[in-house]
Amino acid sequence: MVSGKGGTGKTTVAAALALALATEGRRTLLVEVEGRQGIAQLFETEALPYEERKIAVGPGGGEVFALAIDAERALLDYLQMFYKLGSAGRALKKLGAIDFATTIAPGVRDVLLTGKACEAVRRREKHGGYTYDYVVMDAPPTGRITRFLNVNDEVAGLARIGPIHNQAQAVMRVLKSPETAVHLVTLLEEMPVQETADGIAELRDAELPVGKVIVNMVRPHVLDEAAVRAASGDHRDAVAKTLAVAGITGGTKLVEPLLEQAVEHAQRVELEREQRAVLTGLDVPAYELPFLGDGADIAGLYRLAKELRKQGVDA
Amino acid sequence: MTAQDVPFPVNGLDSVPTLELDPLIDDPGTRIIVCCGAGGVGKTTTAAALGVRAAERGRRVVVLTIDPARRLAQSMGIDSLDNVPRKVDGIKGAGGGELHAMMLDMKRTFDEIVEAHTDPERARAILANPFYQSLSAGFAGTQEYMAMEKLGQLRARDAWDLIVVDTPPSRSALDFLDAPKRLGSFLDGRFIKLLMAPAKMGGRAGMKFLNVGMSMMTGTLGKLLGGQFLKDVQTFVAAMDTMFGGFRTRADATYKLLQAPGTAFLVVATPERDALREAAYFVERLAADEMPLAGLVLNRVHGSGAARLSAERARAAAENLEEGRMVDQAAGKTGERGSRATSPEPSDIATAAARSSHDDEAAPTAAYDTAAYGPAVQDIEQVQDIEQLTAGLLRLHAERMQVLAREQRTRDRFTALHPEVAVAEVAALPGDVHDLAGLRAIGDRLTAGRMPSA
């Protein structure tokens, strides 16, 4: 499960993780649940149907499949599977019962989404091996993740008997097992870090397995405050001269804006240092992913996947 | 010459109209400003900053936030969840303006609707119903519905002349427009009526099919969800009976309020692909629903005062300096210096530069050099440090220009789709905002117009 505050790049990280895990003939399934078609956009393919599709290959012949889970379709499938409803399913839809069950009824929607993912986790091929070595879900954001995952408990309590109850309990067993890990994506900024800390506390309270903190968009520290102070003091002229030596004309006018940028950089370095300290205090292992200057395109995804593998993601 | 006079703008952005926010917040005709957009783009901060600015320019403002950052909420004194607006202290300005702010408590808002529209005994029954408790605690759409409900309440009180609303971090951009209707039509709808009164319906001609459908459906749902759950729903529905007509009416009224001339939508985004894609959806959806769009607020835009120096030239020059240094050192020094000089890693440069700025903390190698070779070598060292520093400045600049180029590309894509949408740019701040001073600074940036050489 990959969660994170909005804007931290959780879809990108989920995709990179699915790629990173698809090494040496392994097969991963990348799942999205919020109907935003973020995966299709990331991989620059057409909109994903409610169907598992191969979207990328990893090194050594690994494969990444993707699936956009749609709650309504999942419910109809489910009714079909258990009750052979066929056209009666459509009648239910007309009456608004499907809409009721998938959007309004407490948590049924979330049970269907996590239920479908768990089905993929447990699915086996004819020869007995698992269909997917890993299932990676681009999950709802940190603020909603615990409720989303824990909703099965709640539903199991509300619907005290029947298939939904059983389904909810089965899903909960998978989600709380050591086979599941909830990773939280963050940036080295105050609000995402705060949300990560809150999210970890909530997950732990609900006894859901916290995986890694994945620090995204980490930029290299080029200059620190001390260096910038030194330059802003007596060395402006020297910097201008050095610019000329390096082949840049009109250096005198450039010194000021370049120093301003350096001051901003130094401030950010300082803020990042503080946030890093907060993350260290959370006592959760972390991965770090570099900032992609050109944005997260396919090449960027492969780079992030490589980075994750380097940091031991498939260990 | 205005932007419109330019026949063939070289850069798409030059032709983009500027969103003027001061005239918007100063206009007494503006009664509601709705900030919407993807998660993590700064909607709450934008809403709060506009609230502060409008109040300090003389308006009586209330800001309705959904999920503010803790420190921002604390600094505005709205971190307690009592679901009513609180006056914010520290508002300046001679215009007699005031700022009130509140954080939405959706369960409480829902409870209040129930309490306001039914007798105490029934209200107690509803509030205790397990189905109601789950529904009100925040399943799909409840937060959006309650945000719009609260907006309607604030507007009805008529105690403020400007309401600034932040929208929930929805599953998708469209939820907050759709959810109220969805919840309203569900609670008021055919399905609920069927659940409540199958006998009544069955008596009528033409309703036979529905009746058959109904028994099959309750049967199926009963099997799926368990009989107790369905009983909870039916009890809930029975208790809520008197309120149902009201839900649809209220949802419709709020929807109309959003279309009214006194409302202005601000779509908030950052110059990132996903955020601007959501923004484009929003612009299209608002147009389709005839909601009045004021423009796009683009947060965290990067600029550079040295934009005429390209990333490529800056990087090449930085490499020149770094290579030059290595050549000097390879020629004139022993291996002892070489280890430091041949490591062009950014962190090493930073460390070396930092070291040079504190002579009293000078590293052992530097002390050794100075002692052995005297002042002349110290100068050489200083020259080398300046070179390192300048190379660092150039590398930072190259990185900044790369960011600028990427932001430009994503913006051009949006502009191509929606050239008519006015844009207000907000320069990126290095850190987060958590006090009135910070919100004021954002307000200044919001209304400063186009950024220099961005």
Given a cut of 80, is residue A103 above it in pLDDT?
Answer: no
Q: In this prediction, what percent of chain B has a pLDDT beyond 70? A: 65
* Structural domains in chain B plus CATH codes: 3-130+141-175+248-302+428-446 (3.40.50.300), 311-400 (no CATH)
Place of tokens 């052995």: B372
In this prediction, residue B368 carries a pLDDT of 36
Q: Which residue carries 């925040």 as its tokens? A: B138
Give yes or no for a contact between A155 and A164, defined as CB atoms under 8 angstroms apart.
yes
**What is the secondary structure of A122-186 as a DSSP string?**
H-B-TTSSBS-SEEEEEPPPHHHHHHHHHHHHHHHHHS-SSHHHHHHHHHHHHHTSTT--EEEEE
Q: What is the mean pLDDT of chain B?
A: 76
**Is B432 close to A165, i.e. CB distance below 8 A?**
no
ipTM value of the model?
Answer: 0.82
Q: Is the pLDDT of residue B12 over 60?
A: no
Which has the higher per-residue pLDDT, B192 or A63?
A: A63
pLDDT tens figures, B103-132? 888 888 888 888 887 888 888 888 888 778
C-alpha–C-alpha distance, residues A303 and A307, integer Å: 6
For A219-238, how does the pLDDT look when each residue is reduced to its tens digit (9 = 90+)? 888 877 677 776 666 678 88
Residue A85 forms contact with B (CB below 8 Å): yes
**DSSP for B282-310, written as a single string:** HHHHHHHTT--EEEEEEEEE---TTTTS-
CB contact under 8 A, B38 and A79: no
Taking alpha carbons only, the member of B59, B256, B258 closest to residue B162 is B59
What mean pLDDT do residues B408-436 have?
90
Q: Record the tokens describing residue B273, joined without a space.
A: 């692909």
Look at chain A and count its residues.
315
| Upper half-sphere CA count for residue B449 (Cβ side, 13 Å) | 4
For B49-54, what is the mean pLDDT? 96
> Would you call A108 an interface residue with chain B, using a CB distance cutoff of 8 Å?
yes
- B347 SS3 class: helix
A246 and B309 in contact (C-beta within 8 Å)? no
Q: Are B318 and A246 in contact (CB under 8 A)?
A: yes
| B306: pLDDT strictly greater than 50 | yes
pLDDT confidence of residue B232? 73
pLDDT value, residue B337: 40
Q: How confident is the model at residue B359 (pLDDT cuts 50, 70, 90)?
A: very low
Residue pairs between chains A and B whose CB atoms are closer than 8 Å: 247
- The per-residue pLDDT for range A140-150, each reduced to its tens digit, is 989 889 888 98
Contact A280, A270 (CB under 8 A): no
Pairing of strands A134-138, A27-32: parallel
Query: What is the arithmetic mean of pLDDT over B390-403?
Result: 92
Q: What is the pLDDT of residue A199?
A: 94
- Tell me the pLDDT band of B195, cut-offs 50, 70 and 90: low
Going by pLDDT thresholds of 50, 70 and 90, the confidence category of residue B62 is very high
**More confidently predicted of A96 and B435:** B435
pLDDT score at A78? 73
Residue B24 has pLDDT above 50, yes or no: yes
pLDDT value at B258 more than 80: yes
Q: For residue B138, count other CB atoms closer than 10 A to its CB.
A: 17
Residues 6+ apart with CB under 8 A from A123: A130, A131, A132
pLDDT of residue A238: 85
What does the pLDDT read at residue A44? 86
Place of tokens 């709060």: B48
pLDDT at residue B65, as a whole number: 87
Q: How far is CA A66 from CA A43, A45, B142, in A?
A: 10, 11, 30
* Mean predicted lDDT score pLDDT of chain A: 85
A107:B318 CB<8 A: no
DSSP bridge partners of B166: B35
Q: Does residue A85 have a pLDDT over 80?
A: no
- B33 SS3 class: strand
Percent of chain B residues past pLDDT 90, beyond the cut: 33
Phi-psi region of A37 (alpha: psi -120 to 50; beta: other; left: phi over 0): left
pLDDT of the residue at A202: 94
Label residue B80 by pLDDT band (50, 70, 90). low
Angle at A106 between CA A101 and CA A109, to 5 degrees: 50
Given B304, B313, B400, which is nearest A248 (Cβ)? B313
| Subunit contact A103:B432, Cβ cutoff 8 A | no
Q: In what order do the strands lie in the sheet with A210-218?
A: A53-57, A63-68, A27-32, A134-138, A2-4, A182-186, A210-218, A286-290
pLDDT at B341 exceeding the cut of 50: no
Q: How far is CA A69 from CA A63, A156, B86, B195, in A?
A: 19, 21, 42, 29
Compute the distance between CA of residue B22 and CA of residue B26 in angstroms, rounded to an integer.
Answer: 6
pLDDT band at B222 (very low <50, low <70, confident <90, very high): low
Residue B250 has pLDDT above 80, yes or no: no
Query: Smallest Cβ distance to B305: which of A41, A165, A256?
Result: A256
Beta carbons of A242 and B321 less than 8 Å apart: yes
pLDDT of residue B352: 41
Alpha-carbon gap, residue B126 to B313, rounded angstroms: 69
Split at pLDDT 50, 70, 90, the class of B326 is low
Give yes or no for B215 touching A (CB within 8 A).
Answer: no
Residue A157 has pLDDT above 80, yes or no: no
B273 CB within 8 Å of a chain A CB: yes
Rounded Cα gap, residues A230 and B346, in angstroms: 17
Band (pLDDT 50/70/90 cuts) for residue A109 is confident
Highest mean pLDDT among A135-139, A142-146, B322-326: A135-139
Enter the tokens of residue B153: 């309440």
Residue B158's pLDDT is what?
86
pLDDT per residue as tens digits for the range B131-184: 787 777 655 567 777 888 888 889 988 899 999 998 876 655 566 677 666 666
Determine the residue among A196, A228, A242 to mutate to test chain B binding: the one whose Cβ has the most chain B Cβ atoms within 10 Å.
A242
CA B33 to chain centroid? 14
Q: How many residues does chain B have?
A: 454
- Report the alpha-carbon distance of residue B335 to residue B12 in Å, rounded: 54
Mutation pick from A95, A112, A237 vs chain B, by most beta carbons of B within 10 Å, is A95
Q: Nearest CA of chain A to the CA of B406: how many Å? A: 6
Element housing B225 (H / E): helix B208-225
Distances (CA, A) of A271 to A191, A197, B136, B189: 12, 17, 38, 52
Structure tokens at B225: 């969800």
Say yes or no: B274 contacts chain A, CB-CB below 8 A.
Answer: yes
- Confidence category of residue B228, pLDDT binned at 50, 70, 90: low
Q: What is the pLDDT at residue B96?
A: 87
Cross-chain Cβ contact A261/B306 below 8 Å: yes
What's the whole-number mean pLDDT along residues B51-65?
Answer: 95
Residues of chain A contacting residue B406, judged by C-beta atoms under 8 Å apart: 293-295
Q: Is the pLDDT of residue B388 over 90?
A: no
| Average confidence (pLDDT) over A104-129 | 83
How far apart, in whole angstroms, are the C-alpha atoms of residue A217 and residue A306? 15
Contact A103 B141 (CB under 8 A): yes
* Neighbour tally for A237: CB within 10 Å: 12
Amino acid present at B386: I
In B78-117, the residues whose Cβ lies within 8 Å of chain A are none
Instruction: Average the pLDDT over A254-258 and give the result.
Output: 90
Q: CB atoms < 10 A from the CB of A204, how many?
A: 13
In terms of Cα–Cα distance, which of A115, A146, A133 is closest to A33?
Answer: A115
The mean pLDDT of B2-19, rounded to a whole number, is: 55
